[in-house]
Amino acid sequence: MEFKPIKAKKVYEEIVEQIKGMITRGELHPDDKLLPERELAERLQVGRSAVREAYRALEALGVIEIRPGEGTFVCEIGNKPMADIMTWAVVTGKNTLFELLELRKIIETEVAALAAIRRTEEDLIIIRTWLDCMKADIEKGNLGDVSDMKFHYAITNAAHNSLLSRLMDSISETMQTEMKVVRENLYQTAATPEILYGQHATIYEAIAKGNEQTARSAMLHHLSQAEKELAERILLSKQ
C-alpha cells in the first residue's frame, strides 16, 4: 500500500481560488463590491489576516481594487493595457500557462531568427551578460527566473523591431510570472537547471554565429521542452 504526500494550500490561496472561481463563472462582475475583510473571514471561518493577504494578492494582480473608505471592488478590464488583460487571463483561465508558452513559441522562434540576422556586438554583450547571470543564479541555487526573462527580452531587442519590443514590454510581468512557475516546477529534477542553461547557451551561440535557422530551431526546442516537461510535472503532481 502506497500513500501519496498531501500538499496543503495556505489559507489565503484557498480564498484567492474561491474568488477567482466566482469571477470565472460570472458570479462576480467588474465593479462588484466584495465583502469587508471581517465579514468574509467570519463567513469562511478563517482569520482576518488570511483574507487580508488574499485581497493583497488579488490587488497585486490587478483583479481587485481596494478603495480607501469605500471597500474592495472587482476591476473593470475593458480599457486596461495588454499587460493587465494578460494578467486577468492568467488569473481566470484554466490553461493559460500553456497558452502563454504556445504564444511564446509562435513569437520567439522568429524573434531568435531575426536576432541572428540583425544583432549587433552590443546586443551580443547584453544577451551574454544575462546568460552569465543565469549561470550564476544556478550555481547559487536560485531560480534564475529574472535573468531568464531578461535573456529573452534582450534577444527581442536584438531583433530590432520596435513593435516586437513593445509587445514584450507589455507582457514582461506576465512572462516573469510564467517563468517562475515553470522553473519552480522543473527545478524539482536535479539536472534540470543545467539543462535549461545549456538550451539558453545554444540559442546564444546560434545568434552569435548569425545562424538564422539554428537560432529558430534552438528557441523552438527550448520552449517545446519546457512545455512538455511542465505538463509531465503537473500530471505527476495530480496522481
Q: What is the mean pLDDT of residues 191-218?
A: 93
* The predicted structure's pLDDT at residue 213: 97
125-136, pLDDT tens digit by residue? 999 999 999 999
* The predicted structure's pLDDT at residue 92: 47
166-180, pLDDT tens digit by residue? 888 777 666 666 667
* The predicted structure's pLDDT at residue 62: 74
More confident residue, 1 or 67: 67
Q: Is the pLDDT of residue 3 over 50?
A: no
More confident residue, 176 or 20: 20
Q: Is the pLDDT of residue 6 over 50?
A: no
* CB contact set of 90 (below 8 Å; sequence gap of 6+): 61, 96, 97, 100, 174, 177, 178
> Can you tell me the distance from the alpha carbon of 149 to that of 52, in angstroms, rounded to the nearest whole number?
30
* CB contact set of 183 (below 8 Å; sequence gap of 6+): 143, 144, 145, 148, 196
> Can you tell me the distance from the alpha carbon of 177 to that of 171, in angstroms, rounded to the nearest whole number?
10
C-alpha cell at 229: 516537461
By the 8 A CB rule, do 100 and 188 touch?
no
Average pLDDT, whole number, for the chain?
A: 82
Q: Kindly list the structural domains of the chain, giving each domain's residue range(s) and its CATH number in brackets, ordered by start.
A: 11-74 (1.10.10.10), 95-238 (1.20.120.530)
